[in-house]
Structure 1
Amino acid sequence: MAHVGQAKRAGLEGDARLLVETLYALAAHPESWEQLISALELPRSATGLPEEVAAELEGIHKVTALARRQGEGPPEGQAKDVGLVLLSPSAVVLACCALARGVLEPHLASVAVGTRLQLHHPDNHEALQRALVEAKRSGQHAILRLERPTAGAPVFCYVADSSALAGSALRNPAALALMFSAPEPEAQVWGAIGKSFGLTAAELRLAAKLREGLALSEAAEELGVSVNTVRNQLRAIFDKMGLKRQSDLIRTLTELAAVGRSLVVPSASSASEDPPIRSVQLADGRRLAFRDYGPRSGRPLLIYHGGMSSSLMPPGTGVLANALNLRVVCAERPGFGQSDRRADYRFETVAEDMEQLCDRLELHRPALCGVVSGAPFALATAQRMGDRATGVYLLAGRPPRPVEQNLSPLSELRARFESHPWVVETFYAILRMRLSPDLARRLMKRLASFSEADRAYFDAHPEMIDFVFAYVTECLAHGGRGIADEMTAFRRGQTMNLTGIRAPVVIWHGVDDRFSPMKDMVAFVGDHVSEVQPLFDSGHLAPFKYWRKMMERIGEGASHPIG
């Protein structure tokens, strides 16, 4: 894409805004992620957040926080993260949170509880009045565009009946809510956008394709129209939404679609077999979230999830844990899912958290199982716990050591990400906003493309996408800051040694794994390896394919092969 070469040059000059636009353009396009490699050829020392885009990036993270669905992330976190103003039908301010006040004052409005909301721009005042009337009349959400007094992009927000604000401390049945960057379920957002801005069905279809990451020519081909037709439609969209650039359109649509999910209470679904997320308070006051599968009296197994995952285990884990008499506990590492971040995030400090969790849950002699990037954390915990750990099982493990030759573009991209934490945070925050089942499918298809065995497994098991979408959504409940911390930990942990591990270490690894080659994991563990189980018909998706057999092997504690 054209953004990539430009972003590379701009990054070297310290102008990171173009790189952010590149991240927006590519986040929903896993097939093109490796194009970011050239965009990330920044000096290795350029790990700090550029001052000129700090406020813009913080806004992205706030929008991501708004995008959490009900039940995701800390329950008390939503009210402080949402830019929310409660208004009476006559626009008298009933309540206003700090974030909303920061957006409105001083350029857009004067906010004082008990008085009418005073919007400085007369067009904004008229637009607000129309939106309030429409939201009250129809009982549906309206999208409001507030013009800035300067040449900056307009501010978009929702006007909604406050009864839609499930779980908010500011909820008031007699009020209307003004929500900044406010979200709506994917199935409804396009209708709201079309109604609010008068977009035609054809224009909405084009907007949706552009938000998915398609170029104009690609969108024209998929829609079955000429490039000239989509150019005319794009100009009409710009005129109706008051925008001038395609990147502004993509960003606006992304944020509106992402945040809308928190406006509506999800409909009740059938009871899940997965246990609820619980948490413990650690010695320093942080919360560590986890799920607990199987009987409490069972033999303890502590799982360390992968790098873009959560405490959600594959379907059937609860039933399997009961059958094997295993108590399977998976904790969400600091900054992932519902766990609080840790400032000094390293393999050793996460191991300290996990030992505290074992103490709280009375997991006296647990086995430890590290999946993909969870592997070094499992090993660090084994170091810390000594004889208390009964065994370490590594499933498609990724070591912290850099490989001599990257065998896939995604491996190279991860290596570049490790050197630029602010880019990681931004990329995954945007990915969280653009996440959908289709994006999860394309992501897994891309990951499977590096291995013939993985491609065959992926094609035969399309149901895995529901699970992948669920755990990635949970993982990114706070955006990408936890993943950024973890990538930094991997970069700093390249000198990690395994002195002090007393538990036997078993490696199960797909022979065709090009994303995290087996030889690298075996070389990293070295003399501590007690057994290597090569899985000849698998690549990086081995944990999906062999999950049941691996759990059975751990439960039985036997030495028979699992392949």
Structure 2
Amino acid sequence: MKRLPRLAFVFLLALVYRQLQAPPPKIPGTPGGPPVTSPRIRLKDGRHLAYHESGVPREQARYRIIFMHGFDSCRYDVLRVSPELARELGIYLLSFDRPGYGESDPHPARTEKSVALDIEQLADALELGPRFYLTGFSMGGEIMWSCLKYIPHRLSGVAILGPVGNFWWSGFPANVTLDAWNVQLAQDKWAVGVAHHAPWLTYWWNAQKLFPASSVIAFNPAIMSRADMALIPAFAYRTHTHQVRQQGEYESLHRDMMVGFGKWSWSPLELEDPFPGGEGKVHLWHGAEDLIVPVGMSRYIAQSLPWVRYHELPTAGHLFPMAEGMADVIVKSLLLGDD
């Protein structure tokens, strides 16, 4: 009888531990996992990256652009550059599933640096040459800063679109991060805080039903600006939505949050001009009415880094790259320097 309380305590701990553990990922191409339907490359560590090509054929291209998709997206959510502009300028677009999304293998040790190195290996595997252009949106936009830090020697230019900001990056004045923090819904403050301070709780926090978790994961319309709501019909083309989370929400969405809002050892404010000779440009775009990724941190970065060309769209929300003709404007600015 004396052992019963101890056994009950151990049993309770086991139950709690089980609740905190995410289910194993459903890895593409393995028994029980989704099928592999796209071309993939094999990285040095054995992982695979699935990719998608659009625009003109790679061998005929004058400009080669790698696009990095955002949160809860995949390789097919690429900038919709018009076929006319792609042919006129000779644009080749390469997009890929970030680890754990779509058909790219998960990467449990993923960091903000590892994704930049994945891009470099992808470019080499597809023989894109010594330099290429990059553009990234939302969470993919945040990783553009990592590319500027770790592989600047491979870049011809970069377009950063509505990038997620990490509220714990050093160098930002308290009022800037506080203002950005307070734009979020209360439930998102909790979800982001958990991802940063207690990443081991991220799966449970977003899977439990006791109280609201991430509003972005749940598609809460409260985070959509008026401009964003007008663009929702543009998502009718997304017949691939089922692929995005097919490996499990932990390996895609939750790990994305843990990396994006995790403990970085550096800040974008510490970066130096990657193109001191003027051989390339860094463009930063943000919608002033963005309710998903507050604009304040992008404004401050642009003010602090004079080599960043800043484009603030006064009436746009987070989804501005999907607006009719906007992809062409962004790409022409990146490749031709048009403002």
**What is the SS of the residue equivalent to 1:350?**
helix
**TM-aligned CA deviation for residue 317 of structure 1:** 4.8
Structure 2 residue 240 is the aligned partner of structure 1 residue 464: no
Question: Structure 2: where are the runs of 5+ without partners?
Answer: 1-8, 169-176, 210-214, 276-280
Aligned to 1:493: 264
Q: In 2 relative to 1, CA 352–440 (structure 1 residues): closer, same or farther, beyond 3 Å?
A: closer
**What is the SS of the residue equivalent to 2:94?**
strand
Q: Note the 1:363-512 alignment, pairs <5 A.
A: 363-364=128-129, 365-402=131-168, 403-405=177-179, 406=181, 407-409=183-185, 411-418=188-195, 419-426=197-204, 443=219, 445-448=221-224, 451-455=225-229, 457-458=230-231, 461-465=232-236, 467=238, 470-471=240-241, 473-482=242-251, 483-490=253-260, 491-493=262-264, 495-497=266-268, 498-503=270-275, 504-512=281-289
Partner amino acid, structure 2, of 1:367: Y
User: C-alpha separation between the residues in 1 aligned to 2:112 and 2:71?
Assistant: 13
**TM-aligned CA deviation for residue 528 of structure 1:** 5.2
Higher relative contact order (CA 8 A, sep 6+): 2
Give 1:289's match in structure 2, choosing from 36, 50, 66: 50
**TM-aligned CA deviation for residue 549 of structure 1:** 2.5
CA contact (8 A) 2:332 2:338 kept: no
User: C-alpha separation between the residues in 2 aligned to 1:453 and 1:494?
Assistant: 35
CA contact (8 A) 1:326 1:555 kept: no
1:194-246 deviation per Cα after TM superposition (whole angstroms, max 9, x unaligned): xxxxxxxxxxxxxxxxxxxxxxxxxxxxxxxxxxxxxxxxxxxxxxxxxxxxx
Q: In 2 relative to 1, CA 401–440 (structure 1 residues): closer, same or farther, beyond 3 Å?
A: closer
Give 2:124's match in structure 1, choosing from 328, 350, 359: 359
Partner amino acid, structure 1, of 2:158: V
CA contact (8 A) 2:74 2:101 kept: yes
Identity percentage over the alignment? 20
Partner amino acid, structure 1, of 2:254: A
**What is the SS of the residue equivalent to 2:331?**
helix
The structure whose residues are more often helix, as a share, is 1
User: C-alpha separation between the residues in 2 aligned to 1:370 and 1:328?
Assistant: 12
Q: In 2 relative to 1, CA 359–443 (structure 1 residues): closer, same or farther, beyond 3 Å?
A: same
Aligned to 2:28: 74
User: C-alpha separation between the residues in 1 aligned to 2:266 and 2:78?
Assistant: 33
Max radius of gyration: which structure? 1
Aligned to 1:342: 107
User: C-alpha separation between the residues in 1 aligned to 2:132 and 2:258?
Assistant: 28
1:244-275 deviation per Cα after TM superposition (whole angstroms, max 9, x unaligned): xxxxxxxxxxxxxxxxxxxxxxxxxxxxxxxx
Aligned to 1:269: none
CA contact (8 A) 1:396 1:509 kept: yes
1:411-468 deviation per Cα after TM superposition (whole angstroms, max 9, x unaligned): 424423413434433566789xxxxxxx9998263331xx23333x14xx5352552x
User: C-alpha separation between the residues in 2 aligned to 1:544 and 1:413?
Assistant: 29
Q: TM-score, normalised by structure 2?
A: 0.74
Give 1:521's match in structure 2, choosing from 298, 321, 324: 298
Q: TM-score, normalised by structure 1?
A: 0.47
CA contact (8 A) 2:223 2:291 kept: no
Structure 2 residue 38 is the aligned partner of structure 1 residue 277: yes
Q: In 2 relative to 1, CA 51–307 (structure 1 residues): closer, same or farther, beyond 3 Å?
A: farther
